[in-house]
Chains A and B, each alone.
Chain A
Amino acid sequence: EIVLTQSPATLSLSPGERATLSCRASQSVTSYLAWYQQKPGQAPRLLIYDASNRATGIPARFSGSGSGTDFTLTISSLEPEDFAVYYCQQRSNWPPLFTFGPGTKVDIK
């Protein structure tokens, strides 16, 4: 099973600052990596799929990069509504198995 590790566990930043979140896989996932945002009491929302493609309706300040085992989610300038928990997720090809990272909490400094 591929294990995803996210760092840091918590990121304390101010609105307007740049956020850089890391996700590392225990073995290569090629580009099958997605990022989600989750706010308290809400379901996760897809931000990025295939490592670098923004989902429908996602603002351009969110960008994803990476391939193989190392991936990054960047929020170029934090808006107040961006303070949330972010999860990365991968899918193994066969048998199909989806796993999530433990999450990074972005909170207000």
Chain B
Amino acid sequence: QVHLQESGPGLVKPSETLSLTCTVSGGSISSYFWSFIRQPAGKGLEWIGRIHSSGSTNYNPSLMSRASLMSRVTMSIDTSKKQFSLKLTSVTAADTAVYYCAREGPYYYDSSGSDAFDMWGQGTMVTVSS
């Protein structure tokens, strides 16, 4: 049974960088797409981005910095440790949320991945506050 576990600081100061890691156990990290998804308290779900075990990434355009016109999101993967990570820069109170890691699945019809998320971590609460 695949298990995902998020870890990282629960409190981040405004303008700093939020960093989270997801550890995969009980199954392979290879050949899958892995995502981070967040949920502000009492609100809906927002997909942040995904990374393939090969290292290729896709990010949600809504998380682009207005100042730099570049994504605030960077994801990386360490297959030897069976971990993937999220960095979100220049955080504000609007980034306060429960952050989930998830696996795309259950089936991959082609190399572009799946259309759903079949495995989820339990989530970790991150608060942005000074």
Contact = CB atoms under 8 A, between A and B. Distances in A.
B47 A99 contact: yes
B47 A49 contact: no
Interface residues of B, number: 24
Nearest to B120: A43
Interface string B44-87: 11110010000000101100000000000000000000000000
Interface stretch (A65-73, A74-82, A88-96): A88-96
A98 B103 CA distance: 13
Given A49-B106, A55-B106, A87-B45, A97 B117 contact: no
A101 B123 CA distance: 19
Interface residues of A, number: 29
B47 A43 contact: no
A34 B113 CA distance: 14
B115 A34 contact: yes
Interface string B97-130: 0001000001100001111111011110000000
A90 B45 CA distance: 12
A18 interface: no
A50 to B, nearest CB: 6
Given A44-B120, A55-B106, A93 B112 contact: yes
A95 B71 CA distance: 15
B115 A87 contact: no
A92 to B, nearest CB: 10
Contacts of B37: 98
A21 interface: no
B60 A43 contact: no
A44 B45 contact: yes
A33 interface: yes
A33 B117 CA distance: 11
A15 interface: no
B116 A89 contact: yes
5 contacts: A34-B115, A34-B117, A49-B106, A49-B118, A98-B37
Interface of A: 1, 32-34, 36, 42-46, 49-50, 55-56, 87, 89-91, 93-103
List of 6 A-B pairs having minimum Cβ-Cβ separation, nearest first: A34-B116, A43-B120, A98-B47, A49-B116, A32-B115, A100-B45
